[in-house]
Amino acid sequence: MRFVRDYLVPRLIQYVLVVFCGVTAVFFIPRFAGQDPVLEMIGQIQAQGASLDPQAVRSLMETLRELYGLKGSLLEQYLTMWRRVFTLDFGPSFFQFPTPVAQLLRIYLPWTVGLFVTSTLLSWILGNIIGGIAGYFSGKAWSKVLDAVIMVIRPIPHYIFGVVLLILFAYLWPLFPAGGLALGRRVVINWNLIVAILRGSFLPALSLVILGGVVWFQQMKLLVQNVKREDFVEYARVGGVKERRIVFRYVLKNAMLPQITQLTLALGQVFSGVLIVEMVFSYPGIGLLLYRGVTRGDYNLVMGITVLSIFTIATSVLLLDLLYPLLDPRIRHR
Amino acid sequence: MEAFRELFQDYRFAVGFVIFAFLAFLAVLSFFSPYDPIRQLQVPRDRPPSWSHILGTNSKGQDVFWEATFAIRNSLIVALIAGILSRIVAVLVGFLSGYRGGTLDRILMGLADGLLVIPLFLILVMVAMLLRGSLTLVNTGLLLAFFGWAWDARTIRSQILSLREREFTKTSVLSGNGTMALVTREYLPFTTPLIFSTLINNIAWAIGMEIVLAILGLVRLEIPTLGTTLQWAITYQAMLLGHWWWIMTPVTLTILLLVALYWLSVSVSEYLDPRTRIQRIGAQ
Amino acid sequence: MRRVLLVVGLLMFFAGVAFAQLPGNVPRNETLIVDQLTGRVGTPSNFNLWAGWRWQDRGLQQLVCEPLWTVDYATGEIICGAASELPQYNEDFTKMTVKLRQGVYWSDGVPFTADDVVYTIDLHVKTPGLLYHGPMAEFVDKVYKTDDYTVVVELKKPNSRFHTHFLDRWGCLRIMPKHIFEKVEDPVTFEFNPPIGCGPYKLLDYDPAGFWTLWERREDWQRTPTGMLYGEPKPKYVLFQAFETEEAKILAMLRHELDMAQFAPEGLRVVLERGETTRAWRKEWPWVVNIDPCITGIVFNNMVEPYNNKDVRWALTLAIDMVDYMATAFDLMAPPSPIHLPPVPAYIEAFFNPMEEWLKNFELDLGNGEKFKPFDPEIPQRIAIAAKERGYPVPEDPKVLRELFGIGWWKYAPDVAEKLLKKHGFTKGADGKWYLPNGNLWKISIVTDTNPAHHHYRNAMAAAEQWRRFGIDATVNATEAFNSLHLMGEFEVGTMWPAAEPWGAGVDLSRTLEPWRSSLVAPIGQAVTLGPGGAARWSDPRLDEVIAKLEATDPFADVETTRLLGIEALKIVVAEMPTIPTYGYCGAVAWDEYYWENYPGAENPYTQPYQHWPNFKYMLPFLKPKK
């Protein structure tokens, strides 16, 4: 019971406050940024020289302000927003009016989660295992070569990396499409569909796994090199424990802890972290959707995506804090 | 000086130092550039490397080499502002939060979480609009620093949490050592490698972020940085038009810079780690 | 080793199973694949373009909608689509009669008649949520049919340009299928999926994420205006595809997976250099479409000091060296224009050539009785010389040069600019920088779009470069709030369109002049309704008079008066220079002749060349399959 009173309750209050402040900030920041979603839409319509007369534009401005729900005072809009957050109905997207934000999320979220979560997990596992082993055997030649190669790959700008992959595998050796997925509105699950999805997602996934993996590799290698020098590893070795067992049970397991924190946070980046990759490969991801929303002053869409993002990240950080003592027995909740 | 000699025995430090010194030299060279970094059509366009333009010229009529000196200088300014400021905050917050715990911990971590949960792009785009102008160098650096500490503060905090429970903490506390002494003598050496690795990660992140912001057109594209140089090379299709000297310059410089930082930090943190020191001295 | 084999095997498998599969598995050689200019569709399942922005260039306006009339700026003609002839007005412009084409059917087999037109106008008069509700409610008194193919619209007040609401020029009020919409409860929220039109194609499939839309030719294409006018559209399928980056688009075209696209000038060069079957609008340098009916340039906020001063605006114009400007902005490939009109063929004949003498003799008053003639007819030659130095194959014939680079632009005269500025108390410091009359450093922050490949950005970059050289602290301010800032007037100098796009055909300039009507100028902080041109927040009583006279002129019956009024207006605008026109918009269009040929290139401009214009449907019958 002391745990509940001294730790759990304050931690939950902190959680609620983080979510509250985050959502409030996301509500107010765009509204003060000097961009008017109604005017952005007018600009879009006029950009290609579409002909509308002044009377039409004036009535359109009125209608849009009404439809976008931007008529009332800021406080009224703020309260409406909270009602929407609790009902998970974020209203229509402004820029993609009248498509509801919820529908956009339904279309884009599976693609992003499918690609991003898979490749993040894959890169985390590969990066940590390879990095861990390379760290343990850091004296060996192969470890040094691998380290050097990864060191050079890591700083390559993602855009360049993606375009080079495209040139290689979509042009010089055209195995994969240069952009987009060829799925129609009536999706029939069959073999061709699966192949199409795999082909369309392969290059973005490859670049995410490599570009993400090298970061995990470097971090893990440093951590392992550190843990390796701990006394208990030394004792184990002196005590004649098999090397394989030392690597996996003693060293990797211990070095893994900080990496788990990082993984949770990395997964939270699903909403904006892979924008460039989505762009280069014309992938229907949520990062691109959010970015377009931000640049067009699409308050509802921005709100919908960020509320999801805030809940996901705040909740996973909370769970992590609660579960940490289970993973590392040396830590107690205080 | 003694320390330097010792460090230089590590080839990684030596190489990293030489590369870094070279890049710093380039950055200093920018002060002697015969060209204005912003002006265009100063030299014939799209020329491959030659004696008069050692890295060729770009489609904007600028000398790629001299542009690069400005780019590296400006990127270093951004990355160092972001890296160092955010390190100071991250270390302070991580130590305080991890060691003191309780309400302070919750407040600080709440702040950090608050920053982590809001998608970064949203804020960057909005701030750029709020400032009624695109981001200048210092603003970009400050903004990245503001967002760069939260993640690492958490990492450092969890390391401290783990150290706090170890034997030596109790020993130290029982033998009457003050908090400051405990932190500086016992914790800092243990966390230094981590801090260094977060520093290079953060600088790498800041440089990467600056490139992303430039590609999205959110910083002032006229000011040469690694990101904006790259952005112009991409916009003018340097890669596909075969102007390799233009696109390779910022890419190579980015790689060199981060390789140098990586090796320097790995080498320095090993040097600072008390356990390896003993090994090293023992081996001699 | 095993792993390597596995990877190689997997790659081979992918390569073998589904090579270049198109959406809907349509055969490539019967499909025309084109790039979607406005990018990924945000409302993929919604085709109701009467109720809002629906990414209409996804094929909707090109292949489905058949408007009453369409402008073709390449031939200078107005094409009668669903209407069989041009509209007729009565004496005082209070009644417009429209004759409809007979034998036209909607794509679901229902005949197209006057009832559809009457229904469309009626519905717009009474439904506020529709885009064209404003003008319809304002002008239409009553609308009725006299027979199945004749519609009469009676107007509440005289309007000689009422038909322009039905004249397609990248948007107009298109006719709705009555039999679909009359069953709909709310025409504003109705999705109109699948779309039904009188155009020659119908919807086959689309991507729920909005990256592509696929259209199939109607079996009864003979019963569409396009089929009747030009014959069978050749591609059986047309696929509109959106690309997020220029690189992906370039690679797709080089792989023959994209037939028509619009690039940035550099992207065009890549496609031409690396592709063996690619061509541009013009087969030789400068390749790009220089007959676009749209003018780019610089906009001043005429309500802000010091840009409310005509001499300051002119000084900034004369501080520009147009040859260098064009080199920075568009690699010397676009046609400069000294007046607020794009140099399309119809306008060169009607306005540019007739105004040349006047431009040459036009004088600025420098004070102290000093005069200066700012027009420079040598610009085309100087651009040609610069392009030759750059290594481009430049034609020698002065006639061709004139066709490519127009009649000239304004002189590079920094000394004159200096006099104009000093006349108003500006000073040049010892540091070579200019100071405002109040003693502060003169800073110009040019508000522009964030896409560095866009003409807006290119203009901003070139102007900043020129003005910096002149000694003004000029910077490019690329911001996402570009549209908002311009419409609200919260900027000083920007690169919104300097004048509204004209119709592109005929001699009627009403569309360009409209935004400068004094009644439309809004105070700063209140949005102007017409951004292009209107963002300058400028008006002139003399211009108001010309606009009023134009309104009382029938553009079809009285062509010469319409044209002369246009010239009169242009002279006023040039003398005041509220915005600086720089060069005509250029589309860096590329076509791949691997599967299709006979595109409307410069050597045979049978129609306008863009795939995103509504006239695209009139191009398709002329294409020829190659494989």
Q: What is the CA radius of gyration of chain C?
A: 26
Q: Mean pLDDT for chain A?
A: 82
Indicate whether B161 pLDDT > 90: no
Do C240 and C41 touch, CB atoms closer than 8 A?
A: no
Q: State the pLDDT confidence band at A111, using cuts at 50, 70 and 90.
A: confident
Task: Find chains touching chain C: ≥3 CB pairs under 8 Å.
Answer: A, B
Chain B CB contacts of A35 under 8 Å are 129
Average pLDDT over residues C515-519: 92
Can you tell me the distance from the alpha carbon of C283 to that of C264, in angstroms, rounded to the nearest whole number?
17
What residue in A sits closest to B204 (Cα-Cα)?
Answer: A155
- The pair of structure tokens assigned to B69 is 């000196």
Q: Name beta bridge partners: C280.
A: C590
Q: Which range (C107-111, C277-281, C549-553) has the least confidence?
A: C549-553
Indicate whether C17 pLDDT > 60: no
Indicate whether B36 pLDDT > 80: yes
Q: State the pLDDT confidence band at B282, using cuts at 50, 70 and 90.
A: very low
| Nearest by CB: A178 against C44, C248, C501 | C248
Q: How far apart are the first and last CA of chain A?
A: 13
Chain B CB contacts of C250 under 8 Å are 237, 240
**What are the residues whose beta carbons fall under 8 Å from the beta carbon of B245, sequence distance 6 or more?**
B48, B49, B55, B56, B64
Do A58 and C134 touch, CB atoms closer than 8 A?
A: yes
**CB-based contact C244 A184, cutoff 8 Å:** no
Tell the residue number behind the tokens 């290119």, with chain if given: C458
Chain A nearest CA to B244, separation (Å): 12
Q: What is the pLDDT of residue B65?
A: 95
Chain A nearest CA to C531, separation (Å): 7
**CB-based contact A332 B101, cutoff 8 Å:** no
**CB-based contact A22 B114, cutoff 8 Å:** yes
Q: What is the pLDDT of residue C596?
A: 96
A184 near C CB under 8 A: yes
| Nearest by CB: C483 against A40, A58, A183 | A40
What residue in B sits closest to C484 (Cα-Cα)?
Answer: B129
Summarised one tens digit per residue, pLDDT across range C610-620 is 999 999 999 99
Chain B CB contacts of C445 under 8 Å are 133
C-alpha closest to that of C515 among C496, C528, C527 = C528
Summarised one tens digit per residue, pLDDT across range A204-263 is 999 999 988 998 998 888 888 777 777 777 777 777 777 777 777 777 777 777 788 778
Do C133 and A55 touch, CB atoms closer than 8 A?
A: no
Do C203 and C67 touch, CB atoms closer than 8 A?
A: no
Residues within 8 A of A (CB atoms), B 204-223 only? 204, 207-208, 211-212, 215-216
Chain B nearest CA to A221, separation (Å): 10
B155 near A CB under 8 A: yes
Residue at B129: amino acid letter: M
Chain B nearest CA to A132, separation (Å): 15
Average pLDDT over residues B151-173: 77
**What are the residues whose beta carbons fall under 8 Å from the beta carbon of B248, sequence distance 6 or more?**
none
Q: What is the pLDDT of residue C7?
A: 59
Can you tell me the distance from the alpha carbon of C510 to that of B19, in angstroms, rounded to the nearest whole number?
64
Indicate whether C34 pLDDT > 80: yes
Chain C CB contacts of A294 under 8 Å are 480
Chain B nearest CA to C450, separation (Å): 5
**CB-based contact A180 C242, cutoff 8 Å:** yes
Chain A nearest CA to B123, separation (Å): 8
**CB-based contact B113 A302, cutoff 8 Å:** no
Q: What is the CA radius of gyration of chain A?
A: 25
Do C242 and C40 touch, CB atoms closer than 8 A?
A: yes
Chain B CB contacts of C323 under 8 Å are none
Indicate whether B245 pLDDT > 70: yes
Chain A CB contacts of B254 under 8 Å are 155-157
* Strands, sheet with C167-168, edge to edge from the N-terminal-most edge strand: C77-80, C69-72, C167-168
Q: What is the pLDDT of residue C180?
A: 95
Give how far the C-alpha of residue C415 lies from the chain's centroid of Cα atoms, to the nearest Å.
36
Average pLDDT over residues C505-533: 89
Do C265 and C458 touch, CB atoms closer than 8 A?
A: no
DSSP type of residue C307: T
Tell the residue number behind the tokens 């040097």, with chain if given: B271
What residue in A sits closest to B251 (Cα-Cα)?
Answer: A156
Chain C nearest CA to B126, separation (Å): 9
Q: pTM of whole model > 0.95?
A: no
What residue in A sits closest to B158 (Cα-Cα)?
Answer: A258
Residues within 8 A of B (CB atoms), C 429-488 only? 445, 450-453, 461, 464-465, 468-469, 475-481
B interface test, pick of C266, C466, C488 with most B CB neighbours within 10 Å? C266
**CB-based contact B110 A17, cutoff 8 Å:** yes
Q: Which range (B250-264, C6-20, C24-38) has the least confidence?
A: C6-20
Q: What is the pLDDT of residue A332?
A: 55
| Nearest by CB: C465 against B40, B234, B236 | B40
C269 near B CB under 8 A: yes
Average pLDDT over residues C254-261: 93
Q: DSSP readout, A185-220?
A: SS---SHHHHHHHHHHHHHHHHHHHHHHHHHHHHHH
B44 near A CB under 8 A: no
Summarised one tens digit per residue, pLDDT across range C436-484 is 999 999 999 999 988 888 899 999 999 999 999 999 999 998 888 888 8
A interface test, pick of B117, B146, B169, B232 with most A CB neighbours within 10 Å? B117
CB atoms < 10 A from the CB of A323, how many? 12
Q: Which range (A169-178, B113-122, B225-234, C438-447) has the least confidence?
A: B113-122
- The pair of structure tokens assigned to A186 is 């009536």
- Please give the ipTM for the structure prediction: 0.87
**Count of CB pairs separated by less than 8 Å, A with B:** 160
